[in-house]
């Protein structure tokens, strides 16, 4: 919330409405939030602490619309007004990550963690970048912290740690994480793909095929699941099925064959 609301006079009613909009009361689209926050920012009557929150909230709305440069401007203003605003640093890091500016994203996540070492979100967000960079040990460590700190952890975080643990060979722990991700979200395509990969590395071919097939029911063009299922079929001697899956995966992602050995899976062994 922007602030706690007590008694409100008639003259304050428009301001109250803007506060409610800026807080996200109207969830139909991001536009009402932008409208409410903009009215507060432009009023010239708000204290710096409230203005920082209004800029952060408007930045979140711009992020939801994919207007990342506008979002970054708001987050920058938020941290100018409140240099200890951990959420604004974290949120700006998320936008830099979406823009592919990973070094700047890491800087913001590091700053958020420095300001509040008990804030789980920047650990999870930093972990995702470490994983995308192939730094799975570091990713696992950050996911560990995010899960330790957060009272409630989203399925995506459990799935992220499942994938990272599977790549570095902690297969039993990885399976536990993917199971938890799927308990939280039984339709999580990425978690089925990750668990299929974990079963593949564990040489449990039938289980791998089942999970990869579940992922492909939800996303038929998921190249990693097609390729992984092809490898599992190959191990079971279903050469025709394997060739079909691998060919389909390669048509979608021509470099997919180079990925699995980097994850510790040999194509033919």
| 31-58 b/e (C-beta count within 10 Å ≥ 16 → b) | ebbbbbbbbbbeeeebeeebbbbbbbbb
pLDDT in tens, 95-143: 999 999 999 999 999 999 999 999 999 999 999 999 999 999 999 999 9
Supply the pLDDT for residue 1: 52
Rounded Cα distance between 244 and 222, Å, is: 14
Supply the pLDDT for residue 8: 43
Supply the pLDDT for residue 220: 98
For the chain, give percent helix, strand, coil, nearest 5. Answer: 75, 0, 25
Domain map (residue ranges) of the chain: 14-117
Supply the pLDDT for residue 247: 98
For residues 110 and 126, is the Cβ–Cβ distance under 8 A? yes
In a structure prediction context, what are the per-residue pLDDT tens digits for the chain, which is 269 residues long? 554 444 444 446 888 898 999 998 888 899 999 999 999 999 988 999 999 999 999 999 999 999 999 999 999 999 999 999 999 999 999 999 999 999 999 999 999 999 999 999 999 999 999 999 999 999 999 999 999 999 888 999 999 999 999 999 999 999 999 999 999 999 999 999 999 999 999 999 999 999 999 999 999 999 999 999 999 999 999 999 999 999 999 999 999 999 999 999 875 54
For residues 212 and 225, is the Cβ–Cβ distance under 8 A? yes
Give the CATH fold of the 14-117 domain: 1.25.40
pTM for this structure? 0.89
């Amino acid at each position: 919330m922007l602030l706690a609301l007590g008694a409100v006079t008639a003259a304050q009613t428009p301001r109250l409405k803007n506060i409610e909009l800026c807080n996200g009361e109207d969830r139909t689209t991001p536009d009402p939030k932008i409208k409410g926050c903009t009215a507060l920012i432009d009023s010239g009557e708000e204290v710096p602490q409230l203005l920082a929150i209004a800029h952060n909230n408007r930045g979140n709305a711009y992020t939801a619309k994919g207007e990342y440069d506008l979002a970054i401007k708001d987050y920058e203003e938020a941290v100018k007004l409140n240099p200890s605003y951990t959420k604004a640093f974290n949120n700006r890091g998320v936008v830099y990550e979406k823009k592919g500016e990973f070094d700047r994203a890491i800087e913001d996540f590091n700053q958020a963690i420095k300001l509040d070492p008990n804030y789980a979100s920047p650990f999870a967000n930093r972990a995702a970048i470490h994983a995308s960079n192939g730094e799975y040990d570091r990713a696992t460590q950050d996911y560990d912290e995010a899960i330790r700190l957060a009272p409630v952890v989203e399925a995506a975080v459990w799935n992220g740690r499942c994938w990272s643990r599977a790549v570095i060979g902690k297969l039993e722990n990885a399976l536990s994480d993917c199971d938890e991700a799927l308990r939280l979200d039984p339709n999580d395509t990425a978690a089925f793909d990750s668990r299929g990969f974990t079963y593949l590395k564990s040489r449990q071919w039938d289980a791998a095929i089942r999970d990869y097939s579940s992922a492909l029911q939800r996303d038929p063009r998921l190249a990693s699941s097609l390729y992984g299922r092809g490898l599992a079929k190959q191990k079971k001697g279903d050469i025709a099925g394997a060739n079909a899956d691998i060919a389909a995966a390669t048509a979608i992602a021509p470099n997919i064959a180079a990925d699995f050995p980097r994850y510790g899976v040999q194509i033919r062994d």
